Structure 1
């Protein structure tokens, strides 16, 4: 399978490895094994340029990632070269470090308009609901995906979906939207049925926590390569979102992802 892949039947093509950007906007309430310092503008600009040079075109952000959206809006050039994924539903307070959720259609509208302004763009390639774990409640009763799909009809969003936490939620998402983001790594394959459903129905799959947020452990020599091999060798997977602010890690991950894709 190639490094550049279709995002289901959306018409978008994405790199098999996407860049997650929580670490450029938020350092409170995160679950990484090691501490880090939020990089300055020059370092972020260099990281984005390096990612593009390496063939990455997919970038993942969210309102819950602190200042990430606003920084990307200032530093991300050649907008047309990027597929930008952002989210709705989870809000983060940079002062207190606390999160809260709001899945109402009214909040969806405000959140998308704010993301468009922060990201300095007139369209969003993909907007996902940032689930709190109550996937089916959100999908079936709160109207969150319906509100996103209405904004898609207006041309503000190209594709919609949800970052889910349950198999039932992932499948329900794919029945109403274009993309599901699911957890898949060497220690967690419970959500593979969602990926299989997507493969059968031409839907897009983005993978989160492929390296278990830095906690990946395995008996093999190179758990990152093993994880990439398994995930990118799974039919239906469009891209893995991997967050890093280290250019060397980024280059290593891209090299290993290309190897996993047979390049």
Structure 2
């Protein structure tokens, strides 16, 4: 069985080592307003416990969650009891999700409230990487809301180990890395506009997490090409990439993604 245990890499200059694939947990928390091609059923606790154990066995140590992922954080807390030291947890701040609708609040007061709430839900004293869940106005949020100053204070208090932005623009990503530790960017076969953010991160030792790594719409590939392999070849060829987040609840998909990522990364070495 292929695993990622021996392929962990630095999460920028945070001092943390992470698996090249991270497990995204939106599907354990909400099934409304999600942009997946196929419908799915939110798995029960036993299934999620099994998925987490499988991920750990495959060498995955990075979990991606958020307050906007329904009750994802609330479920993860009890399911991770006794395992906190085995996981690097990424969560977010800024976006709330209630009754099928998103709303945003980037104020210092809400930021502090949200982080304290995430700590309670996740049953932990610290979050490894806390990202601003942008509504698309990346630069305005970072420059005018006071959110980054609040996150810096929370880092100094030891409640978060690093902070950054899950954004939508090159300017936002660059600003996020200049003043913070990490940028989560969209980078896949269809969308590579944020490449300058990856280049900046590589030059400055900052962390890059990839979202939407396996974006649907692989029509641009030659017939017979494997879209998962091609996606991973693109992503892991870039030296800045710490980890790509895969949001699956399917055990077979998880193990085949891990096997492919391991194969691609070893071939690139």
2: CA distance between counterparts of 1:216 and 1:109?
40
Give 3-state SS (helix, strand or coil) of 1:180's partner.
strand
Worse overlay, 101-110 or 219-228: 219-228
2: CA distance between counterparts of 1:253 and 1:159?
27
Match of 1:197 among 185, 196, 200: 200
Matching of residues 153-168 of structure 1 within 5 Å: 153-168=156-171
Match of 1:128 among 127, 131, 135: 131
Task: Give the structure-2-normalised TM-score.
Answer: 0.94
Deviation of residue 217 (structure 1)? 3.9
Any gaps of 5 or more consecutive residues in structure 2? 1-5
Deviation of residue 237 (structure 1)? 0.6
Residues 97 and 174 of structure 1: CA distance in aligned 2, closer, same or farther (over 3 Å): same
Superposed CA RMSD in Å reads 1.3
Q: Which residue does the alignment assign to 1:231?
A: 235
Deviation of residue 240 (structure 1)? 0.1
Contact 1:18/1:57, CA 8 A, preserved across alignment: yes
Contact 1:217/1:223, CA 8 A, preserved across alignment: no
Q: Which residue does the alignment assign to 2:145?
A: 142
Q: Which residue does the alignment assign to 1:115?
A: 118
Q: Which residue does the alignment assign to 2:69?
A: 65
Task: Give the structure-1-normalised TM-score.
Answer: 0.97
Match of 1:261 among 255, 265, 269: 265
Give 3-state SS (helix, strand or coil) of 1:108's partner.
helix
- Cα deviation, 1:149-179, whole Å, max 9, x if unaligned, reads 1100000000100101000000000011000
After TM superposition, the runs of 4+ consecutive aligned structure 1 residues lying more than 6 A away are: none
Match of 2:190 among 187, 190, 196: 187
**Corresponding residue pairs, total:** 260
2: CA distance between counterparts of 1:215 and 1:27?
21
Residues 46 and 217 of structure 1: CA distance in aligned 2, closer, same or farther (over 3 Å): farther
Deviation of residue 235 (structure 1)? 1.4
Match of 2:86 among 67, 75, 81: 81
